[in-house]
Amino acid sequence: MPVVKHSSYIAPLFLRNGHFNTFFSSIMRKLESVPYVRERIVTPDNDFLDLDWSKVNGKKCVVLAHGLEGNSDSSYIRGMVQFFNSLGWDAVCWNLRGCSGEPNITSKLYHSGCVEDLDCVIKWVNSKFNYEAVSLVGFSLGGNVVLKYLGEMGKSLVSSVKGAVCFSVPCDLRSSAEKLACPTNRLYMRSFLKSIRVKLEQKLKKFPGLLSFEGFEQVKNFFQFDEKFTAPLHGYMNAEDYYLKCSSKQFLSKIAIPTLLISAKDDPMLGRGCFPVKEAEANDLFFLETPDHGGHAGFCSGSSHGVFWSETRTAQFLNEHVGR
């Protein structure tokens, strides 16, 4: 029954609030920039994905997936990259479509179920490099993509992929959308919608007539956004259809490699449905850890300059279950 009963994460006293921990990790953390080397790969639908590499000539590699409106420069990504580089691992973050600083070619953006792009990345890494082991790390939306991918692939996953760790995952998309629609989360919603509006405007200018931008000002939550834009843009009937098909929770039982999901109980963006206790109890390879504190992709240490618990916990799990 791989439900971690007692998490080792103890938040500093001033960060025992989900909002504080979330903001501290994204705004206050001081990290040096990572000297990435960018590689562009072509997808099966003739679009592109930009991969940002940080190599130390390691025999192992960690592949990272960022969250909503993030990219390889997000603080939680840079922290994980730098920590694993210090352990002798190569690291690569794949920027979801439209998140690398350049609009993509096709009409697609990115969404919570875009596992075909992750599959493209994994196959590229597997075919080009001869790593002893590849591990996946995902945050928030990117974590949902990772978990869905692992569950869909099951035992057919390429053998080089040995383990995974995900943080703050909205594995029940409807539950997360409902939580984010609460008045206490208006600041997050405004920020997300303001950021994604830029990408959407670029897409609709490039593909006139694809969708109508009319009424965007009335969109106040993710259900409205997904109903009007995400679902029709990516071939789903409506928001409910999108949530039903893209939530990773339903695929957790099929995960066939050691995988750890860490979501804080005080995460302001996750509803009750995003804590899959029964799924963890039913799959010996899927572990669930729910610290009392941590916020959303936070799990901060007491210092803005130090290594975060999320990074050491990831390495600990992979060393323990995948091998040193």
- Identify whether 317 is part of a domain: yes
Structure-block tokens of residue 189: 């919603």
Q: How far is CA 203 from the centre of its chain?
A: 23
Q: Which residues contact 74 (CB under 8 A, 6 or more apart)?
A: 26, 66, 67, 139
- Please confirm, yes or no, whether 321 is among the known catalytic residues: no
Structure-block tokens of residue 26: 């994204």
- Identify whether 235 is part of a domain: no
Residue of 72, 140, 176, 310 marked active site: 140
Q: Is the pLDDT of residue 324 over 60?
A: no
- Identify whether 27 is part of a domain: yes
Over residues 300-315, the mean pLDDT reads 83
Please give the pLDDT value at position 209: 77
Q: Which of 112-121, 235-244, 293-302 has the lowest average pLDDT?
A: 293-302
- Identify whether 224 is part of a domain: no
Residues 227-233: contacts with CB within 8 Å, 24+ apart?
Answer: 229/200, 230/111, 233/107, 233/108, 233/109, 233/203
- Identify whether 61 is part of a domain: yes
The residue with tokens 């210092």 is: 303
Please give the pLDDT value at position 323: 66
CA gap 191, 156 in Å, rounded: 39
- Please confirm, yes or no, whether 140 is among the known catalytic residues: yes
- The tens digit of pLDDT for each residue in 85-101 reads 999 999 999 999 999 99
- Containing structural domain, residue 304: 3-172+249-322
Q: What is the mean pLDDT of the chain?
A: 91
Instruction: Work out how many domains the chain is built from and give that number.
Output: 1
CATH code at position 55: 3.40.50.1820
What angle (nearest 5°) sits at the alpha carbon of residue 270, between those of residues 17 and 262? 80
Residue of 50, 73, 266, 267 marked active site: 267
- Identify whether 227 is part of a domain: no
- Identify whether 228 is part of a domain: no
Over residues 233-255, the mean pLDDT reads 95
- The tens digit of pLDDT for each residue in 31-78 reads 888 999 999 999 999 999 999 999 999 999 999 999 999 999 999 999
CA gap 102, 105 in Å, rounded: 9
- Identify whether 158 is part of a domain: yes
Which helix (H) or strand (E) segment holds residue 19: the answer is helix 18-23
Residue of 66, 111, 234, 296 marked active site: 296
Q: Are 260 and 289 in contact (CB under 8 A)?
A: yes
Is the pTM above the cut of 0.85? yes
